[in-house]
Amino acid sequence: MTVTAQDIADAAAEKLFDSGFDRHATADHLDWINDGQAAACLFKPDISTQKNTLALVEGTYQSISLTAHALIRPVQNLGTDGNTPGTEIRIVDFDHFTTLNSGWMVAAAAAAVELVMFDENDPRHFHCYPQQPSSNQGKISVIEAVLPAVVTPISAVITIQDIYKPLLIAYDLYRAYSIEAKHSRTARADATNQWNLFVTGLGRKDLVEKSIDPNNIIRRKAAK
């Protein structure tokens, strides 16, 4: 990554006709850029990911890492010691699996996970099959969504991919115009426009990723 927070602040300040940072200080721009990175995660959780090891607990109901805000996908079993690479873990639909396997939550326990089910309405938790035993629970490798690292100082590079530079500029402008909107009707409209650019840009990025996702390409070919 090569884009710095200063690059984004400079671009926003130029559009604001405030290249000297007289109306909005560089410190404010830096705060807004960091807020923009975090806000992007609300619309696109996988904008910042991390591969972690989870220590599972007894039963089927499990939690993701404290530093994560969503589970992207499970990867594989790592044994009970967390250092023994094991079998891969698949994702299945909770309702579909329950329909076909009534009583799976009370089936025989095992440390090695075969399947994971998660609900978008409960992003910090998931269910595993089979249930974990009362002792010697397993550990698994997962990919989780985490908040981007804070950018500081302003000369530092942003901590999400460089391709998001235009969207962070839009968010920076949205925050600046929102302040100026107290005294300007035009600024109010500008703030709305920049917010819409930020949100729709993230949505379009997600659509493009889905269209070129190798998994989706394979599914489309299989459906023909």
pTM for this structure?
Answer: 0.82
Residue 78 has pLDDT above 90, yes or no: yes
Residue 224 pLDDT grade (very low, low, confident, very high; cuts 50, 70, 90)? low
pLDDT tens-place string over residues 144-167: 999 999 999 999 999 999 999 999
Residues 81-132 pLDDT 10s: 999 999 999 999 999 999 999 999 999 999 999 999 988 889 899 999 999 9
pLDDT tens digits for 94-103?
Answer: 999 999 999 9
**Residue-level pLDDT at 212:** 35
Confidence of residue 222 (pLDDT cuts 50, 70, 90): low
| CA gap 17, 177 in Å, rounded | 12
> Rounded mean pLDDT of 186-208?
85
Structure confidence at residue 116 (pLDDT): 96
